[in-house]
Amino acid sequence: MSIHQSALRLLDQLEETIAQLGPNNFSQAIPTLSNATIGQHVRHTLEFFLCLIASSKTSEVNYDNRLHDKTMENDLQLALRTIHDIRAFLKNQREDFPLLLEANYAIDEDELIQIPSSYHRELAYNIEHAIHHMALIKVGVKIAFPHVELPVHFGVASSTVRFQQQQA
């Protein structure tokens, strides 16, 4: 399975899950998630992909510069359309290309660093980042919305799935 297929599979799982939520559930605060919402975790995850998509025009990716779009975290239909748009990009952009990752890891300083990277490396990062947030979404869904049927292996890294299968 290619890196693009892995990313597409995760986006399919995310879409399948959130499509089962009503608009109110999507934006409902969940105490177990420190009052975060499923929508906030979805928006955060998708905005990382959107930053990567934007890098195809600039050759630089900076995840700190995401929009923090409140509309997306409250509008289930917008989130679903965004997943569709990201999938369309991933299906068309298969070739790797060099990137500069820009980031500021300081809390109290404006210290921008640049790290050589590539589209495929950043796509791998986005996959891992998505799995992390999907694991949190899974916790929230199981507690607050038990009617939602989660896809098999939702929020679980492929290496963990392989390990679990070897142990069975």
pLDDT of residue 165: 84
pLDDT of residue 159: 87
Residue 73: count of CB within 10 angstroms of its CB: 23
Q: What is the b/e burial string over 98-126, where b = at least 16 CB atoms within 10 angstroms of the residue's CB?
A: ebbbbeeeeeeeeeeeeeebebbbbbebb
Per-residue pLDDT averaged across 147-167, rounded? Answer: 91
Identify which has the larger pLDDT, 117 or 168: 117
Residue 29: count of CB within 10 angstroms of its CB: 13
Tell me how far CA of residue 150 lies from CA of 26, 101, 120, 134, in angstroms: 15, 33, 28, 10
Per-residue pLDDT averaged across 144-152, rounded? Answer: 96
Cα separation, 43 vs 51, in Å, equals: 12
Residue spans per domain, the chain: 3-167
pLDDT of residue 47: 98
Q: Does residue 13 have a pLDDT over 70?
A: yes
Q: Does residue 162 have a pLDDT over 90?
A: no
- Give the model confidence (pLDDT) of 17-67 as tens digits: 999 999 899 999 999 999 999 999 999 999 999 999 999 999 999 999 999
- Give the model confidence (pLDDT) of 113-146 as tens digits: 999 999 999 999 999 999 999 999 999 999 999 9
Q: Check if CATH label 3.30.70.1400 holds for domain 3-167.
A: no
Tell me how far CA of residue 5 lies from CA of 2, 101, 145, 147, in angstroms: 5, 23, 28, 28
Identify which has the larger pLDDT, 23 or 8: 8
Residue 94: count of CB within 10 angstroms of its CB: 11
Confidence of residue 160 (pLDDT cuts 50, 70, 90): confident
Residues near 147 by beta carbon (within 8 Å), at least 6 away in sequence: 20
pLDDT of residue 168: 82
112 phi and psi, to 5 degrees? Answer: -80, 130
Q: Does residue 1 have a pLDDT over 80?
A: no
